Amino acid sequence: MALTIRPYEEGIRPCGEGIRPHGEGDAQAVAELYNRHRDNPNPVAGGIDAAQLARELAERETATFLLALDDGRLVGTFGLFHHTGRRSARAGELIADMFFVHPAHRGGMVTGRLFTEAVEWMMRSGCLVLRLTVNPANTVAFRLYRRVGCVSVGRAVPGEDGNVELYNYIPLVLRSVFADLGEQATAALGSLTSFASVTESRDDELRSDVRVVDGIRTVDYCLALGAFRLDATVDVDRGTVREARLTEPDGTVRALRIAQPPYRVRTPRGVPPYRFTEGPLTCEVDGEDGTVSVLAAGHHGPVFVSTWPSCRADRPAGWREGEPRAITLEPVEGGVRVTERDGGATVTGTFTLQGGSLLQEFTRTGSATGRVFQTVGLRQGAFTDTEGRTHPIGLGVGVRDASEIVAASEVPAAGSILTWQGSAVRVSLPADGRLRLVHSTLLERGLEPGADGVSRMRTEIGTGPVPPERTPTATGTDAPTTPRRLEVEPAAGGVTVWQEGATKVLRSPYPRVRSYGYHPRWSAGLWATRENSRHDRSAGLGWGVPAPGAWEAKHPLGLYAPHTGLGWEITTTDDGVRVDVHAPDTDRENVLWLTPHTAPKAAVVIESAGERRELAAADFRQIWARRASVRLTDGRWLHLAPAAATPSPYDEFVLRATPSGLLLGGVSAERESAWLLSVHDTPLLALTPTT
């Protein structure tokens, strides 16, 4: 094996109508590597081509993109980026992504060499903090990152995207104290070959590594430099080392002088959002990063979110995260004017609500182009594309999900209208040739000034009365009543067995623990957790990873968690089971999760915004519903519906199709929620208004 690591050749250049790779061979080889392996970390339905790969590297403002070659054959990649579409790096940070190693080369030297080369590049460049995301159910990768010093400073469990974000501050620590290490410790540092031999190993628990000291969020590092020991404390919000000390081989300890990094991290100023209202619409502009959110009466969470176009046109805010900016907010008639200045560049955006529409107008000096990401917040309803085709709103439905590689998104035909219709809200906007559909509710839009130098975007947001509640008609003839078997295991945190006669309703590996989708510790087939809000911009709804702590049996068919205050109990009826969930008073949401005993391509019937739709699990990645039925392996159907006499209009189900099978969740923002689960011979049929 002749392993070499080199950068992607020679970057990218504009050519004709789009961006084409300068080195066709590299782009083609990377695209083929990703397309051949379904477990690559940047999947796009249908795959990607060389031009899309090259465009992606250009649009991410790539710092470096490393290739690992074995006798000239591409076997691995590792990229460092200033943004990824989802997230934007702060000053001094780089985001690692597109880290992939051919399955035949995992467990060897390729992974370590790529990681080490990337970190050495960071040390030379002056970008000293590495950010990355990892699927915690991929225990091999998760443990590897923890072993080389990656820490959790925020969300320690997977969000809607399925990944946990980790940070590595070792380059920052070493660069900050390098000048005061002394000759012998410096020589010991120079002899190191891998970070795995430098830092103390961290466990693989899904929890934050932050320690609050004097009101400051910190993480601690203990590094072994040969016979020397380096202890350091990092201020994670300011991106600096607070203090460090070196222990000599003879046990002598001395404090080290700390050099400031060659950049300054902009921290939040505590500016409150600016709000203005017209009729049933309220617009909220983030005072830190300029993100615009529109809320509508009768809808839980924003119905529309638009990020801010940076002064640097090549570094847009991510749809999940934008960095704090030096912006000012000035009220104007019907809205607000936002201005960002960075050196000689200026961007000004004026946002107003006019006749049920959000009008966004931008002017800029300096670079003449820019991009924003816009998210439609409707979870139920229908999406109508530019050709008039209608699809249920959901990830992977109708439009392929290109959120891992935005350059592979679809470009709708110009001159037509895109529409999202929910039960009480309608969002529509024109396709203007500068719009790309990343997936069915996520758009990327380019800003091009008109003849007067102003870039304009108008989004219509219509609201109306909530239609009458609908219920399913008779579901057909059910099988005779059969014996029911339910087993609740406190050690698993939920229900491990549910059978209706010979029908297995749930899947559960208990007493073993396995991964399920992005859930690394699946044991029960029905359980409850508290999650971030389903419309939380930075994370979205999680994957049902329970908080650490024991469950207590407070009911023959129910459990209580003293460490969180969350509890649930089951009441059996002739029709099925009712599950009542009790949560503490919190701004988080409580979710009843279950893994039904279904085939990999199970049939699904949902009620979404008052309409009945039939799907297969292979047709979507995530979809929301008011009620749902899923076909079990023996052909019978599991029905799911809110059970309260007057359920909250915001109680709904999320259905996720994963390689492990279907994952279902009943989601509620209320302290008390109730769900009715029952097994029938037929699915939900036609829906009729409730009288």
Any idea what the Cα angle at residue 595 is, between residues 660 and 379, rounded to 5°?
90
Distances (CA, A) of 587 to 404, 560, 592, 672: 29, 20, 17, 13
Query: Which pLDDT score is estimated for 461?
Result: 97
Query: Which pLDDT score is estimated for 21?
Result: 34
Task: Give one word for 29, left, alpha or beta, with left for phi > 0 and alpha for psi -120 to 50.
Answer: alpha
Whether residue 146 lies inside any domain: the answer is: yes
Sequence-separated (6 or more) residues with CB below 8 Å from residue 313: 364, 366, 367, 368, 369, 370, 371
| Residue showing tokens 């099978």 | 661
Whether residue 88 lies inside any domain: the answer is: no
Cβ burial of 691 (10 Å; 0-12, 13-18, 19+) is exposed
Q: Do 448 and 481 belong to one domain?
A: no
Query: Which pLDDT score is estimated for 1?
Result: 65
Q: Do 246 and 215 belong to one domain?
A: yes
Query: Which pLDDT score is estimated for 25?
Result: 81
Whether residue 293 lies inside any domain: the answer is: yes
| Residue showing tokens 């739709």 | 613
> Strand 484-489 vs strand 442-447: parallel, antiparallel, or unpaired?
unpaired
Alpha carbons 685 and 75: distance in angstroms, whole number: 51
One-letter identity of residue 128:
L
End of a domain among 265, 289, 313? 265
At residue 180, the 3 state secondary structure works out as: helix
> ω before 331 within 30° of 0 (cis)?
no
Q: Do 309 and 230 belong to one domain?
A: no
8 Å CB contact between 559 and 490: yes
Count the residues in the chain: 691
Query: Which pLDDT score is estimated for 20?
Result: 33
Query: Which pLDDT score is estimated for 468?
Result: 60
Whether residue 116 lies inside any domain: the answer is: no
End of a domain among 230, 265, 300? 265
Q: Do 199 and 217 belong to one domain?
A: yes
Q: Do 220 and 297 belong to one domain?
A: no
Q: Do 594 and 666 belong to one domain?
A: yes
Give per-residue pLDDT as tens, 162-207: 999 999 999 999 999 999 999 999 998 887 766 666 777 677 788 8
8 Å CB contact between 327 and 339: yes
Q: Which of 613, 606, 617, 601 is nearest to 390 (CA)?
A: 613
Give me the half-sphere count of Cα atoms (radius 13 Å) on the Cβ side of residue 402: 23
Distances (CA, A) of 659 to 355, 506, 539, 688: 45, 17, 21, 35
Per the structure, how many domains does the chain have? 3
Which residues is 419 bridged to in the sheet?
Answer: 384, 428
Query: Which pLDDT score is estimated for 401?
Result: 92
Give per-residue pLDDT as tens, 547-575: 889 999 988 899 999 999 999 999 998 88
End of a domain among 438, 463, 488? 463
> Strand 129-134 vs strand 93-101: parallel, antiparallel, or unpaired?
parallel
Q: Do 503 and 528 belong to one domain?
A: yes
Whether residue 440 lies inside any domain: the answer is: yes
Ranges of residues in the chain whose predicted pLDDT is under 50? 10-23, 474-477, 479-480, 691
> What range does the domain containing 343 cover?
279-463
Q: Do 350 and 424 belong to one domain?
A: yes
Alpha carbons 601 and 426: distance in angstroms, whole number: 31
Whether residue 519 lies inside any domain: the answer is: yes
Whether residue 48 lies inside any domain: the answer is: no
Q: Do 565 and 444 belong to one domain?
A: no
Sequence-separated (6 or more) residues with CB below 8 Å from residue 199: 147, 148, 149, 170, 221, 222, 223, 224
Alpha carbons 358 and 482: distance in angstroms, whole number: 56
Q: Do 444 and 491 belong to one domain?
A: no
Q: Do 283 and 391 belong to one domain?
A: yes
CATH number of the domain encompassing residue 563: 2.70.98.10
Whether residue 55 lies inside any domain: the answer is: no
Q: Do 427 and 487 belong to one domain?
A: no
Alpha carbons 683 and 51: distance in angstroms, whole number: 45
Query: Which pLDDT score is estimated for 194?
Result: 64
